[in-house]
Structure 1
Amino acid sequence: MARSKEFEESAVLDKAMRLFWEQGYEKTSMTDLVEHMGIHRRSLYDTFGDKHTLFRKALDRYGNKVSAPLAGGVKRSKTAAEALQFLFDLTIRGEGDSPSGCLIVNSAVELAARDADVDTKSTEAFTTAEQLLKDIILWGQRDGEFTSDYDAGELAEYLHNVWVGLRSMARTSIPREKLHRIANISMKLLEK
């Protein structure tokens, strides 16, 4: 007779996601995962498969968890500049007690060159982020907040590069004031 699960799958997946976010894929062992997730090794394998499959699920979970607050904050913004400022501030400040930086960016840097799955997931996430930025820029151009001297898609590519840089730098001891200066100068470049 099969035993019933003694854990909530999404809760333990969140724990795995956080551990990968804090330590990276390579540094996180199966023993670390079992201990951090609070489940038996057999349950981990039965529910999530191997470490790589668990990691892919953790990346998906991360994407789902961060997209809602980002979209919500943008929708609540009254202006395009406010929406962009929200994105930069959230990136620099972080959210609650979450690890600093971005699991997608960290994973892309660590693994994308040699892991096709991570490369695909990172590229998809980056494309989605650029589209969000492009939509904000088009909004700002339409309302006269942002310059129309440049193509919105090209500006989105540039700003995404800044955003990825901020997410990487947020993991370091670089003062937050410096990150805010970088974000602010990037926003000034958009002004009409």
Structure 2
Amino acid sequence: MSRNKEFDEIEVLEKAMQLFWEQGYEKTSMSDLVERMGIHRRSLYDTFGDKHTLFLKAVERYESKVNATLARGVKSSKTATEALQFVVSILICGEEDSPSGCLMVNSAVELAARDADVNKKSIEVFSTAEQLLKEIIFWGQRDGEFSSDYDAEELSEYLHNVGVGLRSMARTSIPKEKLHRIANISMKLLEK
């Protein structure tokens, strides 16, 4: 007869996600995970499989949290400009009590060239981000907030690329003011 789990699966997955986010995949050992997650090694394997499978589940958890935050922020925005500013603030500052940078960007840089699963997930997540930006740009163009001089899809690809750079730079000690200046210059492309 199997025993009931003595831990909340989402709670321990969240702890693993934070650790991978802080340290990266390669630097995070199974011992680190067992210690951070507060569960026995056997429970980790029984529940999440191996380290790679756990990592992919942590990435999925990260993606769902970020998408939910962005959706709430964009939905509550009164204008496309406000929505875009919200997205940029998440890119630069992240969420409260989160490691700096972006787990997906970090993972793509660390692993995508040699890990097909991470490469596929990175492309999927980046495509979703570009689609969100494209919708905001269309909204702003439709309502006359943004210039229609450029194609919304091309602008979304460009702004996403800037966002990936901002998320990478956010992991350093570069002042947030500099990151905001970079974002503001990029947003000027949208001005009417």
Structure 2 length-normalised TM: 0.98
Which whole-Å CA distance do the structure 2 matches of 1:74 and 1:185 have between them?
A: 21
Task: Specify the alignment match of 1:79 in structure 2.
Answer: 79
Deviations 1:120-179 (A, max 9, x none): 001000000000000000011111111111110000000000111111111110000000
Percent of aligned pairs sharing the same letter:
80
Task: Specify the alignment match of 1:166 in structure 2.
Answer: 166
Task: Specify the alignment match of 1:112 in structure 2.
Answer: 112
Report the Cα offset of residue 86 of structure 1: 0.6
Q: Are residues 1:19 and 2:19 paired?
A: yes
Which whole-Å CA distance do the structure 2 matches of 1:47 and 1:2 have between them?
A: 12
Q: Are residues 1:64 and 2:64 paired?
A: yes
Structure 1 length-normalised TM: 0.98
Deviations 1:81-101 (A, max 9, x none): 111011111221221111011
Task: Specify the alignment match of 1:8 in structure 2.
Answer: 8
Report the Cα offset of residue 2 of structure 1: 2.1
Task: Specify the alignment match of 2:182 in structure 1.
Answer: 182
Report the Cα offset of residue 36 of structure 1: 0.5
Which whole-Å CA distance do the structure 1 matches of 2:89 and 2:54 have between them?
A: 30
Q: Which amino acid aligns with 2:29?
A: S
Length, aligned pairs only: 192
Deviations 1:72-115 (A, max 9, x none): 10111111111101111122122111101110000000000000
Task: Specify the alignment match of 2:34 in structure 1.
Answer: 34
Which whole-Å CA distance do the structure 1 matches of 2:174 and 2:114 have between them?
A: 29
Q: Which amino acid aligns with 2:119?
A: D
Off by >3 Å, runs of 4+ in structure 1: none
Task: Specify the alignment match of 2:90 in structure 1.
Answer: 90
Task: Specify the alignment match of 2:55 in structure 1.
Answer: 55
Report the Cα offset of residue 4 of structure 1: 1.6
Query: Where do 5+ consecutive residues of structure 1 fail to align?
Result: none
Q: Which amino acid aligns with 1:103?
A: L
Q: Counterpart of 1:6 in 2: which secondary structure?
A: coil
